[in-house]
Amino acid sequence: MIRFYGVSKVYQNGVTALNNINLHIRKGEFLFLVGPSGAGKSTLTKLIFREELPTRGQVIFSGKNVARMRHGEIPYLRRKIGMVFQDFRLLPQKKVWENVAFALEVTGVSRREIKRRVPEALKMVGLEDKAGMLPTQLSGGEQQRVGIARAMINNPSLLVADEPTGNLDPETSWELMNLFQEINQRGTTIIMATHAWDIVDKLKKRVVALNCGQIVRDEEGGGYRDEA
Ligand code: ADP
Ligand code: ADP
């Protein structure tokens, strides 16, 4: 589903964020991206949905070179990728259902279709009763559920989550991890950058560890830290 071939990213200021990354992520995988702050995790995720372009190498998503896509193809790419952020990134003046509907409105879906799909998405994350509330009226865990509903509204084949539990307490984090696992079991590929070592150790998924822009470990059923 995604391949990185010899990918490097050097930012304008000369910082090398990624250095010769080779990585193959298969459809349906659940992959944890770990490593210290500044290791290059966010940069790697940004290259997938073309928020940044590689300096060298190629990122291939569903058989297409992301950097070579024409402008008209980019919205289509982004619709196939759901994004979840540490700080939720909800629109504070908009109600829960509007936050989720917004991701559909920009794609030109009909009002009728929105009225059908938004409640479905809210039900999936267990927030069907909170559609009319504002983000500030919700707990952190509930706000992140809204973020997940928004990310999933276009039925993406890939969900990329950058520290999705970073602002949440342990119990809430585990509830959200259960939701992410359900989403994965229904077929969505998940890439999750995280510092939550307890979650990584317990779930025994594929772990890709970055350090100074390089992959230093890629292990099926791996833990947060290297065993050796
Ligand atoms: P991580 O997500 O693992 O913390 P990042 O991908 O955010 O790592 O950062 C990798 C390196 O690239 C760091 O040294 C960071 O300071 C640098 N970096 C990230 N974004 C930018 C940017 N927009 N401009 C310049 N340097 C950046
Ligand atoms: P109120 O402002 O009275 O609390 P809501 O915010 O629940 O009402 O709803 C405002 C408008 O948005 C109404 O027209 C309602 O039918 C519509 N609406 C509410 N929930 C949804 C939803 N999940 N999807 C689409 N439209 C909705």
DSSP-derived secondary structure for 167-208: TS-HHHHHHHHHHHHHHHHTT-EEEEE---HHHHHHH--EEE
Judge if ipTM > 0.90: no
pLDDT in tens, 66-125: 999 999 998 889 899 999 999 999 999 999 999 999 988 877 889 999 999 999 999 999
Please indicate whether residue 129, judged by its CB atom, sits closer than 6 Å to ligand 2: no
Selected residue with higher pLDDT from 35 and 78: 35
Mean pLDDT for all residues in the chain: 96
Q: What value does the mean pLDDT take over residues 173-202?
A: 97
Q: How much is the pLDDT for 118?
A: 97
| Among the bound ligands, the one closest to the CA of 104 | 2
Q: How much is the pLDDT for 108?
A: 81
User: CA 53 to CA 7: how far, in whole Å?
Assistant: 10
Closest residue by Cα to atom 27, ligand 1, is 11
How would you list the strands of the sheet with 64-65, edge to edge? 16-25, 2-10, 56-61, 64-65
Checking if the pLDDT of 63 tops 80, the result is: yes
| Among the bound ligands, the one closest to the CA of 115 | 2
Q: How much is the pLDDT for 76?
A: 87
pLDDT in tens, 5-22: 999 999 999 999 999 999
Q: What value does the mean pLDDT take over residues 142-162?
A: 97
Q: What value does the mean pLDDT take over residues 183-200?
A: 97
Checking if the pLDDT of 152 tops 70, the result is: yes
Q: Residue 96 is encoded by which pair of tokens?
A: 């829960």
Q: How much is the pLDDT for 227?
A: 73
Checking if the pLDDT of 228 tops 80, the result is: no
Q: What value does the mean pLDDT take over residues 147-151?
A: 97
Q: How much is the pLDDT for 140?
A: 98
Calculate Rg over the CA atoms of the chain: 18
Lowest mean pLDDT segment, chosen from 105-119, 148-162, 206-220: 105-119
Pocket perturbation via mutation, ligand 1, pick of 8, 10, 11, 32 by most ligand atoms within 8 A of CB: 11
Closest residue by Cα to atom 12, ligand 1, is 17
Contact call for residues 55 and 8 (beta carbons, < 8 A): yes
